[in-house]
Amino acid sequence: MEQKELLIQRVTDFSGIEQFECGITQMDNFLHEHLEDCSKSHYCTTYFVRFEQDGDIVALFSLSNDSVDIDSDDFEDMRIGASGTDLPLVDELFREQFEQKYTYPALEITYLAVSKKYQSMKIGSAIIDIIANMAREQKLSGCVFLTVKALVTKEYSALSFYEKNQFARLTSTPQFDVWPMYRTLWPCE
C-alpha cells in the first residue's frame, strides 16, 4: 500500500479519542482517562494524525520540553558507533567545550500511539521523522536531542521500535515500566 500524506493537527477538542485504540491496554486506558488532563495542564501538547481532515485518528502523539544528561562515555559511544544514535553536528572548534556540558536541550515524545487499524504500516517511524523535523524547524529554543521513555512491560515493549528509529538507551536498566532513550537531531554527516 502506498503511504498517504499524514495530516498533523494540534488537539484542542479531545472528542473522538474514545474510539481510538492502539491495542496496548495500559496505554489505551491512559489515553482515554488522562491525556486530555495532561494536555490541558500544560504537561504536554497533543497532536492527532489523520490521512484526511475529518477522517479517523490514525495515530496520536504528545510532546514536552526536556533535557538529557550525557557524559563523555556517551559521546565516546556515539563516536565509535556503539550507542545507536549519531554524534551531534557541532563545529569541531567548539566540540570539546560542547561535550563538557552537563545537560542538553531536548524535545520529549511524551506519548506516541498508532491505531490498531494502521499498525505495521511504518506510520510510527514516519511520525518520529515528522517530530524530528518539527524540533529542527522551531525557532523558540535550542534543541539537540529527541527523548522518549519507551514503554517496557511484561505484555509489551517499545524498545526495539525506538532502537530501529535511531534512539539509544540512556540508562543501563529500565526505570519502572519505561526505558529512557535519546536520538540526535543534528547528526554529523
| Residue 63, helix vs strand vs coil | strand
- Is pTM beyond 0.75? Reply is yes
CB 6 within 8 A of CB 57: no
Q: Would you say 39 and 133 are in contact if contact means Cβ atoms under 8 Å apart? A: no
In order along its 189 residues, the chain shows pLDDT tens digits of: 455 789 999 999 998 899 999 999 999 999 999 999 999 999 999 999 999 887 889 999 999 999 999 999 999 999 999 999 999 999 999 999 999 998 999 999 999 999 999 999 999 999 999 999 999 999 999 999 999 999 999 889 999 999 999 999 999 999 999 999 999 999 886
CB distance 156 to 74 below 8 Å? no
Task: Identify any residues that bridge with 151 across adjacent strands, giving them in sequence order.
Answer: 178
Q: Provide the β-strand partners of residue 68.
A: 104
C-alpha cell, 43:
504537561
**Distance between CA atoms of 80 and 98, rounded to whole angstroms?**
18
Across the chain, which distance is largest between two alpha carbons, in Å? Answer: 53
Residue type, 166: Q
